[in-house]
Amino acid sequence: MTQNLFIGCGNMGSAMVAGWLVAGEDPASFTAVRPSGTPVPGIRTVRSVGEADLMPDRIVLGFKPQQLRDLAPDVARWVTSRTTIISILAGADMATLKGYFPRARAIVRVMPNLPVAVRRGVLPLLCSDPALQSELQPWFSMLGFAPWCASEEEFGAIGFVAGSTPAYVARFIAAFAAAGEGRGLDAGIALTAAREAVLGSAWLAASSGEPMTDLARRVTSPNGTTEAGLKVLDAELPGLIDRTLAAATARSAELAAETRGS
Ligand SMILES: NC(=O)C1=CN([C@@H]2O[C@H](COP(=O)(O)OP(=O)(O)OC[C@H]3O[C@@H](n4cnc5c(N)ncnc54)[C@H](O)[C@@H]3O)[C@@H](O)[C@H]2O)C=CC1
Ligand SMILES: O=C(O)[C@@H]1CCC=N1
């Protein structure tokens, strides 16, 4: 059985594990290292790599990018020519990772988003080895849309479109709920209405496959209420989203420099 060792298994690591377990993966194929020892639901959790007492086939780097420089030498002790390193660290580029783990069989970058926990994630993948791509594709696809990227730039761009989006959508839902409360709705009803409206809209968009302009048109009666609302939203939203992604991209570049130690 393939042994997958998560070094750091917090919000994202445990979301990935949850998705794989829901998909029917064997819990015995996962071990999580958590310094706190707090168990990751459903899988063996240990406090250190030494305590795990196994030679993993895959090591998932699930700690914070800022920790890479300090933790890499210790992690590298467990890496052999059979080990695939899977990094979910934002910012840490392929060249940096190869520098820290020169003995690894291969290095794979993944930038998952939180809905991997319910198998509806977006997780761009980067690795130039076609054999490894074929080996890993079914495993990653259990968690959602998992495209192999041709370049670090493409990987980054998909990551910026999707990686933080659950947070942005959470803000969007909360803003609609607050606007509903401001119009006298009960808080619970406002939140449920906003959340279900976003879920239903995304579901419809995904299942119909139609262009977004067509979907919007089907809601927008000529000279009706949606048209009045869109005049306000359209004036701000594209620029706002662009500035949002630009800020995340700039921070990623800073993190990349921190992981390199430059
Ligand atoms: N949260 C998200 O939506 C996404 C996170 N990521 C990446 O995932 C990584 C983890 O992020 P989160 O899960 O959000 O953070 P988190 O803070 O929830 O998890 C980090 C985990 O690392 C553990 N840790 C700290 N020191 C350690 C050590 N010495 N040895 C082993 N484990 C140690 C912590 O106990 C914690 O469980 C980051 O590199 C981030 O860039 C990537 C995509 C999305
Ligand atoms: O905020 C972060 O740095 C991580 C990477 C993408 C989403 N969360």
Q: Which of 117, 149, 181 is the last residue of a domain?
A: 149
With H, G, I as helix, E, B as strand and everything else as coil, classify residue 6.
strand
Average pLDDT over residues 122-129: 97
For a ligand 2 pocket test, name from 122, 158, 164 the mutation site with the most ligand atoms within 8 angstroms of its C-beta. 164
The CA distance from 125 to 128, in Å, is 10
Q: What CATH number does residue 195 fall under?
A: 1.10.3730.10
Ligand 1 binding site (Cβ under 6 Å of any ligand atom): 7-13, 33-36, 62-65, 67, 71, 88-90, 111-114, 163
Q: Which of 149, 178, 206 is the last residue of a domain?
A: 149
Q: What is the pLDDT of residue 139?
A: 98
CA of 63 to the centre of ligand 1 (A): 4
Q: What is the pLDDT of residue 260?
A: 86
Q: Could you tell me if residue 8 is inside a domain?
A: yes
Terminal Cα distance for the chain, rounded: 39
Ligand 2 binding site (Cβ under 6 Å of any ligand atom): 90, 163-164
CA of 115 to the centre of ligand 2 (A): 13
Q: What is the pLDDT of residues 139-170, one digit of tens each?
A: 999 999 999 999 999 999 999 999 999 999 99
β-strands 106-110, 125-126 pairing: antiparallel
Residues 117 and 13 in one domain: yes
Rounded to the nearest integer, the mean pLDDT of the chain is 97
Residues 25 and 89 in one domain: yes
Q: What is the pLDDT of residue 261?
A: 61
CA of 88 to the centre of ligand 2 (A): 9
The CA distance from 196 to 65, in Å, is 34
CA of 228 to the centre of ligand 2 (A): 35
Residues 179 and 240 in one domain: yes
Q: Please tell me the residue having the least CA distance from ligand 1 atom 38.
A: 64
- Give the atom of ligand 2 at the shortest distance from the alpha carbon of 251: 3
Structural tokens at position 108:
């794979």
* Nearest ligand to the CA atom of 112: 1
Q: Could you tell me if residue 208 is inside a domain?
A: yes
Per-residue pLDDT band at 185 (split at 50, 70, 90) = very high
Check whether 262 has a pLDDT greater than 80: no
Q: Could you tell me if residue 67 is inside a domain?
A: yes
State the CB neighbour count (10 A cutoff) for residue 159.
25
Check whether 95 has a pLDDT greater than 80: yes
* Nearest ligand to the CA atom of 13: 1
Residues 102 and 72 in one domain: yes
Tally of domains within the chain: 2
Average pLDDT over residues 234-257: 96
Percent of the chain beyond pLDDT 70? 99
Q: What is the pLDDT of residue 13?
A: 98
ipTM for the complex?
0.98
Give the range of the structural domain holding residue 213, as residue numbers without chain letter. 165-256
Write out 78-143 in H/E/C secondary structure. CCCCCCEEEECCCCCCHHHHHHHCCCCCEEEEECCCHHHHHCCEECCEECCCHHHHHHHHHHHHCC
Check whether 12 has a pLDDT greater than 70: yes
Percent of the chain beyond pLDDT 90? 98
